[in-house]
Amino acid sequence: MADGATDPRTIHLKDYAPFPWTIDGVDLTFALAPRATRATSRIRFRPNPAATATGPFFLHGEDLRLIEARIDGQPVTPTVTEDGLTCDVPPGPFTWEAVVEIDPESNTRLEGLYLSGGMYCTQCEAEGFRRITYYPDRPDVMATFTVRIESALPVLLSNGDAGATGPGFAVWHDPWPKPSYLFALVAGDLIPHRDTFTTMSGREVALAVWVRPGDEGKCAWAMESLKASMRWDEDTYGREYDLSVFNIVAVDDFNMGAMENKGLNVFNSSAVLASPETATDANYERIEAIVAHEYFHNWTGNRITCRDWFQLSLKEGLTVFRDAQFTGDLRGRGVKRIHDAAFLRSAQFREDNGPLAHPIRPESFVEINNFYTLTVYEKGAEVIAMLKRLVGDDGYRRALDLYFARHDGQAATIEDWLQVFEDATGRDLSQFKLWYSQAGTPRVRVEESFENGTYRLDLTQTLPPSPGQPDKAPMVIPVAVGLLNPNGDEVVPTTMLELTQPRQSFTFEGLATRPIPSILRDFSAPVILERDAPEGEAAFLLAHDTDEFNRWEAGQTLARRAIRAALDGRAIDPAWTDSLRAVLRDDALDPATRAVLLARPSQEETAQALHAEGRTPDPLAIFQAHETVDLHLAEGLHDLLPGLHAQGQVPGPYSPDPGSVGRRSLGNAALSLLSRLDGGAAARAQFAGATDMTQTVAALAALLAVQQGEAELQAFHDRWSGDRLVMDKWFALQVSLARPEAAVATADRLTGHPLFDWKNPNRFRSVLGALAGNPAGFHDPTGAGYRLLADWLIKLDGANPQSAARSSTAFSTWRRLDDARQALIESELRRILAAPGLSRDLSEMVSRMLG
């Protein structure tokens, strides 16, 4: 696509129209074969009374070979194109039948029906079903499905409840109407890990996690996570599961984390398989969260789906919010909130403030796979969190109950979602709706005064221009504020201020002394807070604030000042280290909280902050400043680090319970710093004695960060070369922790390793994704990192355009760099764009980045 041109295939929200026909039922039969699977469809259509115009009868279809087609039993000859087919049809109800042939073995896109290590599986969201048969492949067309699978493979699975089975076949029926993107089929040699769950109404549900032989010992945690999710959704939202069976299948080759297909969730193996020897604490928590996320979709995504893909955040943002609630309830709300806010600010704010910025509900797209973004998911969840804060817990529950009652079985819109809140609470949400249509991260400037016992806060909001949106209207921004007195006592508890104007003032009266404000508590809105805080205030809040997020934010403020001092060649203020010493010695604080308070901002956050100030970030200078700060911190805490590390050695068998995880987290945070002082001695000892993957990886990472650990790296390889998921860690650690001057060469060398399978998304990300996550290495001033990634993106695009497009976002911040690096990146982006046969997935992303 030429710069500034509009792709003729661009889809616009304003052009939405209902499909002219509805479907009364779908019968599918699959005769599976690696190179020539035959799919026979029988679909009962009738005119849609909600459609204002009929138009031609069009069914989506891509990479299919049409064998025959019939209407009401009579042969027809449709007009077939690369996008689908059109056909003359009767004016009333009719039955469409078609036989198509598919080639799963050659499907490296991992969309539609494909083979992964001899196992048939599907991925249909967003538009993969059109690679399975001719169908109206859009989310607002919902129907019941009956599926017959014919194969000699021992396990044949699809959506819904099991029907008839026999030698070489199985039938499944899903009684709940669903769009085609929720269709799933799996067939292979699989082993089940079984359990049951009794719902709140007393029904027994059969549960199974299906894996390849040899992985059956790694399923228990996923099963426990599933049962915990089912119980939590009943207790918290009143949502009961609605089928007699729930299946999860682990697949090695999968573009995403998992997929919520009705009753048959298909997961990336990395989001299912776990044992103490092979998975870290972070892996365990990720599995728990993803299992919960996909299960929660049963109501927020399946029973109520989205009318069109512009409404994607209706299901994804809401379900991310629900899985965050779940994790917070199980593992601690404060720490979970801090982790979520840190990720949002480092990753989604970057998206919001670059060429790929877009509203939560975009107005148009060329390739919908490119809008499965952090903005839709994570910022979408933040908007729901703000909505809950504004209406309160009771108002939120009333609105959700109304949402489920009013829209069950429907394909809904953002307007439908906001309407239930207005109806349930009486609030006018017309201004709040701007969060869905305006791109970018708002900035809130704070000024203050105190006179005669009255404290005043003046808040100003701005929303910078973004692609296609030069001017923005003021938003509704909930700003949670608490006030402390100089003794550290809270004199005004958390109060929710609603900023709705470009500038507003808020007053607090009857105060004996000038208070110390704690602003944006619990990260009450996804904004950038700007305030000239008095000297010493951050250290005071780190010591005294009762809000966990703002206590952490105070520590981050001190860390950012230290990084800035290192960047500018100034001495680092000892207040940061002194304040952290007090925090780390406070045994009343749980270890998980102390671990997050010890964390430093990412290099990406530093780059964002410099760019926002009008300074050009130098990735190498930022890396060196962070190294200086880490050494300074290690030296300042040297006497505490051995003890903290010792506390992190949890005795007894491994457990992923929150208490044990918190202890290991604090101990390994201390180990990372300690290794800068002892040359890696403590890390080597931990590596040698580790009995679980958490301690093993933490020790290896600590060694690599100080340019040690070659022997340990080889030992890790020799021990785990047969485990694909563990080896992903081995690849990623080397690249992400390589020194800037060695990162590109390390990544290039590893792409030649016998175990580097570039067609496997996990393995590709473990090397090329890790390089992009090493900013000083990726942005090597010679441009070697840019050339390496561009070479691989062009190659990957020919096999898996979706993965290539997502990996291309490594270039998204190119315009904030110096002129020399910008020129190098622009050259690579234009080289990618000129590649013959480039997919529309990758061409759209590169064109947007070029502007």
DSSP codes, 107-165: -TT--EEEEETTEEEEE-TTTTGGGTSSB--STT--EEEEEEEE-SSSEEEESSEEEEE
| Cα–Cα distance, 266 to 156 (Å, whole number) | 14
Res 73 pLDDT > 50: yes
User: What pLDDT was estimated at residue 6?
Assistant: 47
Backbone phi, psi, residue 50, to 5°: -85, -10
Residue 25 has pLDDT above 80, yes or no: yes
pTM of the model: 0.98
Write the pLDDT tens digit of every residue in 578-599. Answer: 999 999 999 999 999 999 999 9
- Cα–Cα distance for residue pair 629/576, rounded to 1 Å: 11
By the 8 A CB rule, do 735 and 776 touch? no
**Residue 818 pLDDT > 90:** yes
Q: Are 480 and 545 in contact (CB under 8 A)?
A: no
What is the spatial distance between Cα 832 and Cα 809, in angstroms, rounded to a whole number? 13
**Three-state DSSP class for residue 404:** helix
Confidence bin at 54 (pLDDT 50/70/90): confident
Contacts (Cβ under 8 Å, ≥6 apart) of 127: 60, 111, 137, 181, 368, 369
Find the mean pLDDT for residues 357-365: 97
CA distance 665 to 671: 10
Helices 840-850 and 784-797: angle between axes, nearest 10 degrees = 150
Measured distance CA(761)–CA(764) in Å, rounded: 5
For 495, list phi and psi in degrees, rounded to 5.
-125, 135
Q: Is 346 helix (H, G, I), strand (E, B) or coil?
A: helix
Burial degree of 641 (CB within 10 A; 0-12, 13-18, 19+): buried
- Measured distance between the N- and C-terminal CA atoms of the chain, rounded to whole angstroms: 11
Provide the residue type at 64 as one letter. Answer: L
Domains of the chain: 11-305 (2.60.40.1730), 306-437 (1.10.390.10), 443-532 (2.60.40.1840), 721-851 (1.25.50.10)
Average confidence (pLDDT) over 469-492: 97
pLDDT at 7: 60
Say if residue 52's pLDDT is above 90.
Answer: no
Q: Looking at residues 558-571, what average pLDDT do you find? A: 98
Q: Average pLDDT, stretch 45-68?
A: 93
480: number of Cβ within 10 Å = 20
Q: How far apart are CA 700 and CA 521, in angstroms?
A: 36
Q: By CB neighbour count within 10 A (0-12 exposed, 13-18 middle, 19+ buried), where does 391 fall?
A: buried
Q: How far apart are CA 525 and CA 527, in angstroms?
A: 6
Q: CB within 8 A of 803, min separation 6: which ones?
A: 110, 255, 761, 764, 796
Whether 781 has a pLDDT exceeding 60, the answer reads: yes
pLDDT tens digits for range 641-664 = 999 999 999 999 999 999 999 999
Under DSSP, the state recorded for 617 is: P
Q: What is the spatial distance between Cα 118 and Cα 478, in angstroms, rounded to a whole number?
A: 52
Q: Considering the chain, what is the average pLDDT of its residues?
A: 97
Q: Tell me: pLDDT of 2 over 80.
A: no
d(Cα 495, Cα 519) in Å, to the nearest integer? 10
Residue 588's Cβ-count burial label (10 Å; 0-12, 13-18, 19+) is: exposed
| β-pairing verdict for 490-499 and 477-484 | antiparallel
| Cα distance between residue 563 and residue 59, in whole Å | 57
Parallel, antiparallel, or unpaired: how do β-strands 65-71 and 528-531 relate? unpaired
Q: Please, are residues 581 and 543 in contact by the beta-carbon 8 Å criterion?
A: no
Query: What are the beta bridge partners of residue 165?
Result: 170
Confidence of residue 151 (pLDDT cuts 50, 70, 90): very high
Picking from 37, 183, 157, the residue whose alpha carbon sits closest to that of residue 104 is 37
Predicted confidence (pLDDT) at residue 3 exceeds the cutoff of 80: no
pLDDT at position 105:
98
Torsion of the alpha carbons at 728, 730, 733 and 736, rounded to the nearest 10: -60
Q: Do 512 and 485 form a contact (C-beta atoms < 8 A)?
A: yes
* Amino acid (1-letter code) at residue 701: A
Q: What is the pLDDT of residue 236?
A: 98
| Residue 664 to residue 596: CA distance in whole angstroms | 12
Residue 822: how many CB atoms within 10 A of its CB? 14
Torsion sign over Cα 407, 413, 414, 416: negative
Q: Write the CA distances from 28 to 25, 114, 134, 308, integer angstroms.
A: 10, 17, 11, 24
Q: Which residues pair with 45 in a beta bridge?
A: 23, 94
Average pLDDT over residues 41-58: 92
Percent above pLDDT 90 for the chain: 98
Spatial distance between the Cα atoms of 771 and 742, rounded to a whole number of angstroms = 11
Tokens linked to 747: 């990544």
For residue 361, give the nearest of 469, 468, 441, 438 by alpha carbon: 438
Strand, coil or helix: 606? helix
Q: Are the C-beta atoms of residues 120 and 153 closer than 8 Å to each other?
A: yes
Q: In terms of DSSP H, where are the helices of 570-680?
A: 575-584, 591-598, 603-612, 619-636, 641-647, 658-678
Coil, strand, or helix at residue 492?
A: strand
pLDDT > 80? residue 53 = no
The residue-averaged pLDDT of 677-685 equals 98
Mean pLDDT of 212-232: 98
Residues ≥6 apart with Cβ < 8 Å to 434: 473, 475, 476
pLDDT band at 8 (very low <50, low <70, confident <90, very high): low
Three-state SS annotation for 533-560:
CCCCHHHHHHHHCCCHHHHHHHHHHHHH
Q: What is the DSSP string of 754-787?
A: TT--TTSHHHHIIIIIHHHT-HHHHT-TTSHHHH
Whether the CB-CB separation of 726 and 720 falls below 8 Å is answered with yes
pLDDT tens digits for range 524-538? 999 999 999 999 999
Strand partners, 573: none
- 161, β-bridge pairs: 173
Q: Is the pLDDT of residue 51 over 80?
A: yes
Catalytic residues: 294
Residue 682 identity: A
Q: Who's near 571: CB < 8 A, 6+ residues apart?
A: 565
Chain center to CA of 368: 16
Under DSSP, the state recorded for 151 is: -
User: What residues pair up with 258 in beta bridges, in sequence order?
Assistant: 267
